[in-house]
Amino acid sequence: MPVTIYELTNDRLKQVFVGLTRLSLDRELARHRRQRATGLAEWHLAELRNVRIVEIFQDDRSAAQFYVEYCKRTPPKGWRLLSETR
């Protein structure tokens, strides 16, 4: 089953959330609406819709390595990068 690395963006708070999932993005967003990930508590439910697929992997190891490196990147100036592990 593929692993998807995705971003949620919040223009109001100037935050980018990076996550990874085996679920479809519709199900993943529904999960976040039910139980917010760390860092998303300040987000309004309507803001949990600006989603972008970053990469899709067929194996866990490659996905995990990419996720760690991607989360180390510098967000745009004035923005904050959040992840499930931060």
Residue 86 has pLDDT above 70, yes or no: no
Instruction: Read off the pTM.
Output: 0.88
In a domain, 6, yes or no: no
- Domain holding 44, by residue range, is 12-83
Q: How many domains does the chain have?
A: 1
Average pLDDT, the chain: 90
Instruction: Specify the pLDDT at position 38.
Output: 75
In a domain, 23, yes or no: yes
Residue 56 has pLDDT above 60, yes or no: yes
* pLDDT class of 85 with cuts at 50, 70, 90: low
Q: What is the mean pLDDT of residues 29-47?
A: 84
Q: Which residue has the higher pLDDT, 58 or 38?
A: 58
> Is the Cβ–Cβ distance between 58 and 2 less than 8 Å?
yes
Place of tokens 């760390």: 38
**Sheet-wide strand order for 3-10:** 51-57, 3-10, 15-21, 80-83
